[in-house]
Amino acid sequence: MDIMRFGHIEWREVVGKHTGIPNTTIYVINFYFSYIYLNMSKIYDKCPNCKSKIRSEEGMFKSKNEIISKENYDKIKEFVDNDEFIAEAYCDLCAYVIYLRDAIPSLLYHYNQYFFDHPKKAEKKQLEIKINELREETDSDRIRIIKSFLSNVNLYSNDKQDFKSVGLVESFKVVDSGMWSTSSDNLDAMWSVVHDAAARKGEKSNSKISDGLNDVKDLIRMEAIDKGCNSVIDIRFNFSELAGNGKILIFCQGTAAIDNKHKVADFSSLEKEFNMIKSYEKTLEEVNHFLTYKSTDALIDFIKTLKK
């Protein structure tokens, strides 16, 4: 805190009768001192933000209240980054508040109102709308291209050293096999016999599991195509029974890869839309970063770091 102490001088005439010396006059100099607060070459008697009285010393019923240092003010200004919003100065009573209270016109209170309708929030909504609209427009064409290329994607259980690995792909499906592995303990003896007979029969269970496996293979092929690949290497399958009720989870995992000896799916007709989506997504990421690091919660954390 920058403090300047000014002395006010008053000349007071004292007549001789008060001094005991007849016909004499002396002058007494009285000094009146007051404290005036300086911040950035300005003098403040009240806080420009909350209008609280600036006090250099604590009284019986009132606490000390100073204008915050220029260092802290500059840090706040940098955080807010809006000259139209920032006040000319802040005091202890309004700058360091970390709880929202309507009765206190604090930095935090005003910033919360300002941030509530921040233009970046509207920009975020518009970007999300544009991205979703473009995805809806391109999804049908993209899926059509992917499905038409399914038969060109080969699956390999081993690793292929001459292939270019791109990334992990996986797929799964729950298949109702129609085949119960065990009878229920809640059934009586007669119904248990009937139940076990039906389970052993396993009507159409083989074809259901086979169809489910083929679906999982096509799903992982689609994942690979979507990554710009034409192969899946080091592929693994896992079959898990769910709760003994005839439902089987088929899980498949592998690595999408490119075999340079064969072609990949051609998405060039959608290149313009893809580039627009990427551009919007990059901007959206920047907006989300701003809204996170300039939020009201972020300001609270920032205020806690300021040294009074």
| N- to C-terminal Cα separation, the chain | 9
Contact assessment for residue 110 and residue 90, using Cβ atoms and an 8 Å cutoff: no
Task: Write the CATH number for 208.
Answer: 3.30.110.70
**253 and 206: one domain?**
yes
Per-residue pLDDT at 307: 86
Q: How far apart are CA 68 and CA 52, in angstroms?
A: 13
Give which of 165, 154, 138 is closest to 256, Cα–Cα.
Answer: 165
Which string of DSSP letters, residue by residue, matches 71-132? HHHHHHHHHH--TTTS-S--BHHHHS--S--TTS--HHHHHHHHHHT-HHHHHHHHHHHHHH
Q: How far apart are CA 71 and CA 300, in angstroms?
A: 18
**33 and 103: one domain?**
yes
Contact assessment for residue 71 and residue 2, using Cβ atoms and an 8 Å cutoff: no
**81 and 163: one domain?**
no
Per-residue pLDDT at 301: 95
| Cα of 232 vs its chain's centroid, Å | 34
**186 and 244: one domain?**
yes
**154 and 104: one domain?**
no
> What are residue 30's phi and psi, to 5 degrees?
-105, 135
**Boundary (domain end) residue, out of 264, 287, 302:** 264
Is 38 contained in some domain? yes
**DSSP 8-state symbol, 243:** T
Give which of 263, 269, 266 is closest to 231, Cα–Cα.
Answer: 263
**Residue 74 CB burial class (10 angstroms; 0-12, 13-18, ≥19):** exposed
Both tokens of 12, joined, read 């007071």
Per-residue pLDDT at 231: 96
pLDDT per residue rounded down to tens, the chain (308 residues): 444 444 444 444 444 444 454 444 444 434 333 344 444 447 789 999 999 999 877 766 678 899 999 999 999 999 998 888 899 999 999 999 999 876 678 999 999 999 999 999 999 999 999 999 999 989 889 899 999 999 999 999 999 989 999 999 999 999 887 665 544 445 455 445 444 555 555 556 678 888 989 999 999 999 999 999 999 999 999 988 886 677 889 999 999 999 999 999 999 999 999 999 999 999 999 999 999 999 999 999 999 999 87
Give the number of domains in the chain. Answer: 2
Is 93 contained in some domain? yes
Q: How far apart are CA 274 and CA 21, in angstroms?
A: 103
**38 and 104: one domain?**
yes
Contact assessment for residue 70 and residue 47, using Cβ atoms and an 8 Å cutoff: no
Task: Answer left, alpha or beta for residue 20, where phi above 0 means left and psi between -120 and 50 means alpha.
Answer: left
Contact assessment for residue 56 and residue 19, using Cβ atoms and an 8 Å cutoff: no
**Boundary (domain end) residue, out of 264, 279, 297:** 264
**Single-letter amino acid, residue 274:** F
Sign of CA dihedral 76, 77, 82, 85: positive
Calculate the alpha carbon distances from 120 to 7, 77, 85, 218 in Å. Answer: 51, 18, 15, 41
Q: Which domain holds residue 190?
A: 150-264
